[in-house]
Amino acid sequence: MQRRLFLQAAAAAALLGCNQEAAPVTSAADVAAAIPPGRSSRDVPLPLGPGGAPVRLRFLFQRPAGPGPYPLLVVHHGSTGRGDDPSLFGNASFPTPLAEAFAAGGWLVAAPQRRGRGGSQGRYEEGLSPAGSGYSNLPAEANAGFARALVDAQAATDWLLARPEVDAGRVVLAGQSRGGILALVQAAEAPPPGLKGTLNFVGGWLGGGFDPSNVNTGLFRRAGSGARAPALFLYGEADPFYSIAFSRSNFATFEAAGGRGRFEAFELPPAPRRNGHSVIWVPSVWGPSVARFTTELGLPAPALA
């Protein structure tokens, strides 16, 4: 059932992506080269184009200095605000505080950039309105965009699991904003065999005031109904997209569908340009909760400064 759902999503994504250009294939030697210690990036050809043609996705890494293989943290990125500024699509997303804390604790951290985002090739088509006004809240368009993102997330994870640096028996999926709900649904419908848990930082697909058809409810129900591993939901007060009340409702939907986990809400210390949507960037807030969660899973805790 899990595989069938993934293949259905792949078919939807292929239809959406039929007009994108395929990427030239990166050399096999480059793909096979070791991921170096510290921060690095790599463009990897994955079969995401028409007919399985290769499309290069950019991966950002944070790797420990010691010998592997390492437990793997896959971090899925969020959106670009309202989706109405194409100049933002090329900006890479890498939550440095999270990555550095986990790498210091002995984890390999990977942040794949989905098609059309952060230096990856292809078109960015994750639920944008055909009218060019940004993200659509029409269920058919929003859900098709989610299906496309799920295909990219799974293809990226499959490539990572085959890496010699990765301990495929110790995997945590994580994500911020759109990446948070993406990680939860991936964990339910196409989980890595070694999945131990999921970290959801302020997750949701459409903002609470922009979701009259309850697209989020359907996605959180999917995440709960197939959940095989516990999840930690981490949200911030004064989030302009996802209020605590709205997010608690989504967590209740997740639990009612069969999901297991904890919901934690934080008040972030004031700082310029910071609000409740910035939780992932403030390790002093989430650090103790995440350390407790990973320890409960029998995994190394992130090392906080």
What confidence tens digit (pLDDT) does each residue in 243-278 have? 999 999 999 999 999 999 999 999 999 999 999 999
Residue 133 has pLDDT above 50, yes or no: yes
- List strands edge to edge, sheet with 166-176: 38-46, 55-63, 108-113, 70-76, 166-176, 195-201, 231-236, 261-266
User: Which CATH architecture group holds 2-296?
Assistant: 3-Layer(aba) Sandwich (3.40)
Residue 55 has pLDDT above 70, yes or no: yes
Judge whether 177 and 135 are in contact, CB under 8 Å: no
pLDDT tier at 26, thresholds 50, 70, 90: low
What confidence tens digit (pLDDT) does each residue in 180-208 have? 999 999 999 999 999 999 999 999 999 99
Least confident span in 13-17, 62-66, 91-95: 13-17
What confidence tens digit (pLDDT) does each residue in 68-97 have? 999 999 999 999 988 999 999 999 999 999
Which pLDDT score, from 0 to 100, does residue 77 have?
Answer: 98
pLDDT tier at 11, thresholds 50, 70, 90: very low
Which pLDDT score, from 0 to 100, does residue 19 have?
Answer: 35
What percent of the chain shows pLDDT beyond 90? Answer: 87
Beta strands in 239-280 (DSSP E): 261-266
Which pLDDT score, from 0 to 100, does residue 190 have?
Answer: 96
Which pLDDT score, from 0 to 100, does residue 81 have?
Answer: 87
Q: Which of 1-5, 26-30, 138-142 has the highest mean pLDDT?
A: 138-142
Q: Which among 149, 209, 203 has a CA at the least distance from the CA of 181?
A: 203
At what angle are helices 2-16 and 178-189 packed, to 10 degrees?
130
Nearest-angstrom CA–CA distance, 237 and 248: 12
Whether the pTM exceeds 0.85: the reply is yes
Residue 24 has pLDDT above 90, yes or no: no
